[in-house]
Structure 1
């Protein structure tokens, strides 16, 4: 096979020589290939040989032709550097020692530097494009040179001016955050400063919403986005632009992700809700105030949002949240009312049943005697439905199963059923508490 490749290469070389022999290289169109007709002819032949060597995977030969072309006519063709990158990437993969591999990596990166120097003004594949590709190669082939990776990406972003590739920003910032977490080379102030500097680029590219989410997530997970640091970042910015809705949204989102619970955070969150009320923001605020123990404010925001929300799915979510907040604040009537409405909107959601069952069980103490014990039949039935619907919900299912066993243990005994003239399996309607009117079945514990 190697002999066949050699013969093909030789044949192509003869063809190239024959073709160039009939060309007038003194013509101005060939000036970029050399100072004399003879030099131009040889350099064009070397360019052809470079292409053929790459096609035949003879990368040592190709490297020789590439070096000759860079030395003798570096501005002749962009393809010299495109093929040069192909050559050195393949030589990296074929290197027989670490020293050789590192040498080939340096040669690859130099190829991009040379291309940027000689073809950086290309209208589509100019300096920004070239340095972007170089930065990605840097990550691939020199993953341990953290400072070099950061510098390569910074140069690429700077070269792009006002319109860098959002993916490139995310790659750079993700590596920067990784270095903050894993090395001593990056300080939290640098993470915050870079986040601040790079955020406006996404405003110029609204189609890059997914990259913006990744960018914000990297910041939120970096550890640099502490509540103290975030407050320092946004306090000054909000004072300068108090009516900037996008900035307000960004501040609330990041401080929420950092689980902030200070007065400044709550003031921003409430202001954002006033500017842009929505069920999503209401639930977010409700959770925040619930965590703070301010259940009255939590239900206030949820009910305000419910009053204007028209989407049944969003209404159902709001009602579930209201039920949960009322439950933890021990308002069983309010929790049961919200849970029933949520259940009616989506009978396949297990959480409303989870809430209702607890409301029924909690009211048993107020009923007293056998009527109170009978309430646990309704609580058990309702929690069993919750368990059935929550099979894939790791947040609620364990608690639902625990409650289910507890409710069964509170059933009346066989003797208590007998003395109340009730037979097991008979129908029974609960007559007190939040479960009043609920039909169930007589059972003994």
Structure 2
């Protein structure tokens, strides 16, 4: 029910009369009265006329439900003696909004709002809250866009598991669904940001675009916090000690289920459980029934675990070639770039990272990989100490781009850039070397150049 009310009170007064011709004649008048009070946040004065309209003519105008939420939330806080009554009324408002105005309110948001109300007011059981959110998510995951509700959905499930009321497989399945949803939202936000950042740099953003960009970055930060919280909540439930016995127990029943095999192998790979023989069984079963980008990638992980990096790279390349989804392909390229970077293959790692960016400019992780590669090459690029340390400016420059295109990485991006800048020549160094504003070319694998900051 979080929608903006953009109709002026004066206009509303005229509109209400039209809507209320066949209604109780007091309805339009009370509607105008409570709307005027609510618009200036005088919710106490708005309550009685609002209540009259809600009880007698709720179909009159959707503003009854929009303002009703604000009015009742205020009453819950300001009149604790009757708190339970107002909570019950607000729950009813959430439920009836979609019934009377289905084009304005959705059942999904109604269930989310009701669950959050129960949680915030410490009402209802974990089962009741979870069931509302589970219904909302499974019936309309596209419309489930509330970060707080996403976290509560998963967090409550974990609590139910800890209480012995939900099994571990359901926790993992929901974790996959929730993190997938967060990734989808971040992707959409990233695409919006990528389109607007060049205009921001040029100073040509319209006032509307500035708001859109600011909102996208804020939402990205919100999803970053939720993503971190979801991972923390999963905690040790997803370590190898839990994963291996669970998948061993279920392997025979699911060894021909490609989706289950992908999920199981993917989680074991993510949690570095690839050294267990079960991982081999999962990967071989998957590659046998459905040779795919996923199965080839996991075969690469197997050889990586065995120390055969050349064979691993061969399968990683096969995986990348087989992948048709550009977002997934970009993620695989990013992972391969990261593995190459860890092996010290700097030029190769940058090449894969750049390919990942070409496929998905909203993927900020490759920028962090490239920045780290540059920072680790200080001793290779330059003939003087000043020139060698200048590479950190380039590393910081690249690291900042990660946060610009991917709001979920804004914190990591800022920290990395600040760390690199701290290792670059100081103002005193620039002055002593008389290098302010000059260009330094990097005659090493990095290539390119950097302009020394002016004092």
TM-score by length of 2: 0.48
TM-score by length of 1: 0.49
* Larger RCO (CA under 8 A, 6+ residues apart): 2
